[in-house]
Structure 1
């Protein structure tokens, strides 16, 4: 377990000498960092997403009343035809098991014809709204049994929590707003309501239906506006709940990317191994081209090669190491500043010399071969 040292400091801020002590570790435990993609993905797998139930309810309500208004004539015809059958033919028939069965079957069929279009529209709108809010996600985590759900103490804490208080305020505000719009609507339509007693039954039903749809759409729009505000609140609260402490961010980085200290040690060992292997290749070189102090490049050429190959190169300290190994093993060292810099910048270890440097490298190798022949 990683031990985290706590820094405490005290200052005498009060006349009586009382020390004011604060702990910097507390600042490290505050959730001030935005949630990482991994944290958001884990929350999504658990079913914790920013979602407003109010938004779906408002759009479903508007969709239901809009569908009823569009299919009002169809619903009226279905109900009228069934009532005509019920009061004309059915009352004249004997009440038998077969007739009762047919009666309930016709009733269920009429119910499906009327309700099914509305239910399908509500289902489609509900699925669309949920998909637009959270996308496609499936999680069984919320369905898993949890002992905290049946714990009375935890239930009391949830009952008097900040979230419950916010939900209560939202509900009261919603009731107040809707009540105000209903009151305003009644005040505006008082005269039309009073005139209903003078109209025929068919006309009065038409007026009542028109007033009902008008009121329903007004309330639906008000609920929709409140639902949009609720969605932004849910999104803000969800982000606040997912925030992380600095220590949590560090621990997650260690889990995903690995401990930085361990990674630096691994890279250091890899560099040491690469350097060791490179130094082992220097004695095989035909020549080492130098800057003379800043760069050193070891070249090897064999008859089977298409062009000379760089088997080692280095800068500053590494260049000195390459030259030292070359001297110890009798490898020729040639000073050529322009060629050394060009080879260092354009050719990696294990690559052959590019065609534009053929002539310069060939001159160096020819010089080395002549020198070896003269010494031999």
Structure 2
């Protein structure tokens, strides 16, 4: 305990998605056994309420036939084998549907708590699981004491609920043995449903509290130290797939910012089809600045945005190719292109003056 406490106290960072995914692959998930118990009780209640009359009828008919024809049953040789197989198949037929209901409830109990887990690690033999010292530590650990306490509370509460339900029915229970068999079954079903409902109500509260407790405990176990977070980040940065994805995200964000700047550009210089460079200039700027550039499909999109926002488009293939190769986004144009760009911008400014003859590009 003293060795674990400092380690747990140093885990101050929330677990990363990678840490959670790795835990899931190992079968380490948040799971409450009380939730599973609740679903199994629910399945049992459904079976008891809906199928017990049918099951009782089937079994009573089979047993009635056996008792009525007991003197005709061949108990020697193959006759007894056939009789036993027929009785076994009848019992299996009666038990099949209840077993299927409980099987489905068991699956649902896990699906509502976590994603499907396909891992053999939880059942892989480990020396620590068979070590006497390890078993002794688990037997007297804090988890074992908590589970023992939960078991005592559950037994006491459920027992109190059963007594509270059965005590008012004590007179009926006394006379049940002398009643007609059909009445016994009806009384038994009625009292049984009451018991199931009462127990389910109590187990619901227990299961909800235990689920949140187990999930909180699992979350704390997955928390990471600052050093673990840094190491994981370094590993992810070194992963070529992760680096490629990060590069793609950065390029997408950069492209979106670039396209958003095209409507505010002063002019777009084109190749005319292969390259497009959008420039922005105003009197407060020392030199024109490139706000967007692209080739082929991106160039086409820049031209389309320019047309939609009435940004002048000037075809100058040599200048477009030179600017595309020599200037990056958000950089001012190189000095050797000042004269050519100044002529283009001056031409655009003259066209924008009243009576200058400029019209939005078609």
TM-score tier (shorter): 0.5 to 0.7
Paired with 2:184 and 2:162, the residues of 1 have a C-alpha distance of: 20
Instruction: Give the root-mean-square deviation of aligned CA atoms.
Output: 3.9
Q: Does 1:100 align with 2:100?
A: no
Corresponding position of 1:164: 144
Q: Secondary structure at the match of 1:133?
A: coil
Corresponding position of 2:192: 212
Displacement of 1:132: 2.1
- Select 2:68's aligned residue among 75, 82, 88: 88
Q: Is the 8 A contact 1:32 1:245 kept in 2?
A: yes
- Select 1:238's aligned residue among 218, 222, 228: 218
* Gap change, CA 1:291 and 1:152, over 3 Å in 2: same
Runs (4+) of structure 1 moved beyond 4 Å?
Answer: 26-29, 290-299, 313-316, 331-334, 360-363
Corresponding position of 1:249: 229
Displacement of 1:81: 1.9
Aligned length: 284
Q: Does 1:186 align with 2:160?
A: no
- Select 1:137's aligned residue among 106, 113, 117: 117
Relative to the length of structure 1, the TM-score reads 0.64
Q: Secondary structure at the match of 2:14?
A: coil
Q: Secondary structure at the match of 1:71?
A: helix
Q: Is the 8 A contact 2:23 2:29 kept in 1?
A: yes
Between 1:163-172 and 1:111-120, the stretch displaced more is 163-172
Displacement of 1:362: 11
Displacement of 1:134: 1.4
Corresponding position of 1:123: 103
Q: Gapped runs of 5+ residues in structure 1?
A: 1-25, 268-289, 324-330, 341-352, 364-376
Corresponding position of 1:50: 30
Displacement of 1:63: 1.3
Paired with 2:9 and 2:184, the residues of 1 have a C-alpha distance of: 67
Displacement of 1:106: 1.0
Q: Does 1:312 align with 2:326?
A: yes
* Structure number with bigger Rg: 1
Q: Is the 8 A contact 1:296 1:313 kept in 2?
A: no
Q: How does 1:1-376 map to 2 (within 5 A)?
A: 30-196=10-176, 199-258=179-238, 295=286, 305=318, 307=320, 309-310=322-323, 311-313=325-327, 357=345, 359=347
* Gap change, CA 1:133 and 1:297, over 3 Å in 2: same
Displacement of 1:183: 2.2
* Gap change, CA 1:46 and 1:192, over 3 Å in 2: same
Q: Is the 8 A contact 2:59 2:91 kept in 1?
A: no
Displacement of 1:65: 2.8
Displacement of 1:254: 1.3
* Gap change, CA 1:295 and 1:149, over 3 Å in 2: farther
